[in-house]
Amino acid sequence: MSARLRPKTLHTVAIIVPVLLFLLADNGLSLEVNGEVSVQGLIFLENGAWPHQANQVLSGAGRIQLFHELQENLHLSLEAFQRIDSEDTERSHGDLRLAEAIYFTDAMEIHVGIGRVFWGATEFVHLVDIINQTDQVEAIDGEEKLGQPMLHLTVPRDWGVVEAFVLPWFRERPFPGENGRFRTPLPVSTEQATYESAAGQHHTDLAIRYSTILGNADIGLYYFNGTARNPVLLLSQSTGLSPFLFPYYEQIGQTGLDLQMTAGNWLLKAESYYRTGQSRSYAATTFGFEYTLVGIADSMMDLGLIGEYVYDDRDDGWLPSIYQNDIMGGLRLAVNDMDDSSILLGIIHDLPHGSTMLAVEASRRLGDSVRINLDASFFFDMDKMDPAASLSRDDSIQLELIWYW
């Protein structure tokens, strides 16, 4: 087994790097430090589908961010994260989300270290976002990402921006443990992860991306070659042990496109990719719109109407995907008040199986340094053939209190 970045290692690095930054801060240039501490309570409305799954979960998390200007064109950035969970040992984890040096001139920008890159345009599913690994134990929506070691070169030109990536070390996806909720029917043993490449985690992945603005449209086109971020989960063949799943990471080539176009109050969005290397080639796409009603009911509030569709041409018998043939709708309310209050209601309906997922996200500030977040997830008519069927008893309400400093 290749070496992995354990929480203990992360804690050590998270201590050493800030100290180095402070030691380097004798040149009179700025050092900015900020962070947050949060408490999160999660209540499930039904008993879990498997033994040892709790109905109430309490966790705490901390995040520290540092930015240091060594020179006018050389900056250092760091973000370290740690969570402690009362029930799931796999969710008690730490990660360096960011630890990079940034050098830039008028002609180029170079990031070296552990970085974070987001690609995508649509609201519900980010098909083209492939550089960073998903932090599966933090949130089921795939929005949280692990830090990725990288060399990232950006070259801006009048005709567009070219980016090149060298990714020398692969980050494995974390999965909920046996006691965790939102998990697969059988627990996933990340310790048993295997790779198509003999280099394992040390395979060097490569990516190149071109982005530009044409009229009212932002367009991005990229090619990625390397280890797939989403593993195939295989069934263990061990005798005398309880069955479990283990990740198998394949080598892929992926060409992706994302587009976002503004037309008055309309925002049109699309993402798609074509992938090779997983037994057979396949494609996936998602597209939709967001229309904003400004100043509803003669108020300061804006209401966004969201509609999207996602299609993946894999079938249930071959590498099934949760988002395979789904329609999605949502309402986004921006209150535009002093407390930055907002509410997002989203619904996802699986057309072949009839399964439906409903999510609610609400947030507002309490004073200058505290924010409260409410997240709720509900699952209706979950067909047993749906890849998301294991979530059928995970209806939940989550309340989070965050203190910023």
Digit-coded pLDDT (tens) for 86-117: 999 999 999 999 999 999 999 999 999 999 99
Q: Quote the pTM value.
A: 0.89
Residue 13 predicted with pLDDT over 60: no
Question: What does the pLDDT read at residue 139?
Answer: 87
| For the chain, domain boundaries | 7-404
Question: What does the pLDDT read at residue 316?
Answer: 55
318 pLDDT band (50/70/90 cuts)? low
Termini Cα distance of the chain? 40
Residue 17 predicted with pLDDT over 60: no
Rounded CA-CA distance 22/78 in Å is: 12
List % helix, strand, coil for the chain (3-state, nearest 5). Answer: 10, 50, 40
240: how many CB neighbours lie within 10 A of its CB?
A: 4
Secondary element (H or E) of residue 19? helix 7-23
Average predicted confidence (pLDDT) for the chain: 90
Mean pLDDT of 51-70: 93
Greater confidence (210 vs 141) lies with 210
Matching residue, tokens 């050389």 = 74
Percent of the chain with pLDDT over 70: 91
Question: What does the pLDDT read at residue 278?
Answer: 81
In this structure, whether the domain defined by 7-404 belongs to CATH 3.40.50.300 is answered with: no
pLDDT in tens, 181-196: 999 989 999 999 999 9
Question: What does the pLDDT read at residue 4?
Answer: 39
Residue 80 predicted with pLDDT over 90: yes
Q: Which of 222, 80, 204, 215 is nearest to 149 (CA)?
A: 204
